[in-house]
Amino acid sequence: MKLELGNFHVKDIQFGDVSKFSDGILYVNKEEALAVVREDEHITDADLVIAKPGDETRIVPVKEAIEPRFKVDGETPAFPGVTGDVAQAGFGRTHALKGCSVLAVGKHMGSFGDGLIDMSGEGAKYTLFSELINVCLVADNDEDFERNEQQKKNHALRWAAHRLAEYLGSIVKDDEPEEIEVYELGQMIKRDKAVEELPSVVYVMQPQSQMEEMGYNDLYYGWDLNHYVPSLVHPNEVLDGALISGSFMPCSSKWSTYDFQNNPTIKRLYDEHGKTLNFLGVILSNLNVSLEQKQRSAQAVSKLAKMIGADSAILAEEGYGNPDADFIACFVELEKAGVKTVGMTNECTGRDGQSQPLVTLDDMADAIVSCGNVSQLIKLPPMKTVIGELEALARDGLSGGWAHDEILGSSVKEDGSIILENNSMFCGDRVCGWSPKTMKEF
């Protein structure tokens, strides 16, 4: 399977009369773009706001991030099963607007899985998205059944953001990209002898799928991963829009759709393929509810890894707490099968750093890369501009914010400064592989 990503490096985004890409500037006809957003009658109010690195801007509540993409064949949707019919992803030519993203931002209703982005200052270091030019879709909807729920599906807003990302990608559908990245990984067996003599590695992904009610979980070709059993998938599918982020998970632990599209672990494994390792592909697993379900998936992952001849595995979980049981169970089953495993996850050590970092542990899980502590307290000064609604951080049950604490008060202070847990920093722990955080010994 061969995927060509035709990249256009965006230096600036401006609104204009005609949507076009010229000299590194993406010009967007705002009304035309909003018409795509309003295709869903449940969107009651919408606006587009551009946020750039260095702006004195705070964005909250952020629900999703997507890199603008378009399949140049004109038939395959950029996000199969979401923006169009189910179709095979992972091959052909996809045009991508680099250095930018579409953010779905709630105008009023915050949710447990929503987060915060600061475009400058101390807060900017906690999230990758402070480094991008963000087209913020600030919208409201009439999905009143969940208005007062802490956990929201945010269906209309998230789907609108995907349509918008595909629309923006279509602006460059007929243009010649500045560069083309090629991702090609052939059959797993009967490879060149020199490649087969290298250590074989499989990447095991555990996207969020714990909600038994549909509509909250990550999707694979539009299919809810709660109804999924571990399977082999081609890494190109992950990079090419087959996986879509859900709305359930404390936000610093989330994998946005942008994270799937640009997964740095997959890209690094591609870089090393045929040089230092033999990259077999991806085992896509899930995160479950009951212990029986967790064990079943862990055993299925282990079986698949052995069947394809994996010497080693990189294991990554989206989330913490209950998902730690899936993570460690999978870790143990892989190690028992002789597949040497390295895990990637964040920790929940409490605000004082004294709690057990994962809910469950095992001696076999002896190689884990930590991506940070979700409970770390962060204090940030006011920002000149707020996109969305700052009060949502305290009022609406965002995972790292609160309305009142006996010692700390509200997360949102009268002067616009905030105190929150790292939990609320949008996709801040970057468990997909690009975390800038390091360990410090005391």
User: Tens of pLDDT along 324-382?
Assistant: 999 999 999 999 999 999 999 999 988 888 888 999 999 999 999 999 899 999 999 99
**Structure confidence at residue 397 (pLDDT):** 87
Is beta strand 219-220 parallel, antiparallel or unpaired with respect to 243-244?
antiparallel
Residue-wise pLDDT for 42-76, tens only, equals 999 999 999 999 999 999 999 999 999 999 998 99
Is pLDDT of 249 > 90?
no
CB 137 within 8 A of CB 54: no
Indicate the pLDDT class of residue 442, thresholds 50, 70 and 90: low
Q: Which residue, 55, 64, 68, 50, is CA-closest to 135?
A: 50
Lay out the sheet containing 231-233: strands in order across. Answer: 231-233, 278-284, 200-206, 312-317, 340-347, 368-373
Helices 323-336 & 291-307 angle (0-180, nearest 10)? 40
Q: Mean pLDDT for the chain?
A: 95
Q: How far apart are CA 239 and CA 233, in angstroms?
A: 11
E strand segments, 67-114: 69-71, 92-98, 100-106
pLDDT score of 434: 84
CA separation for the pair 208, 294 (Å, rounded): 13
Q: Is the pLDDT of residue 284 over 80?
A: yes
CA distance 72 to 50: 26
Q: Average the pLDDT over 121-130 and give the result.
A: 96
Pairing of strands 43-51, 133-141: antiparallel
Report the alpha-carbon distance of residue 208 to residue 182 in Å, rounded.
Answer: 28
CA–CA distance, 257 with 238 (Å, rounded to integer)? 10
pLDDT at 52: 98
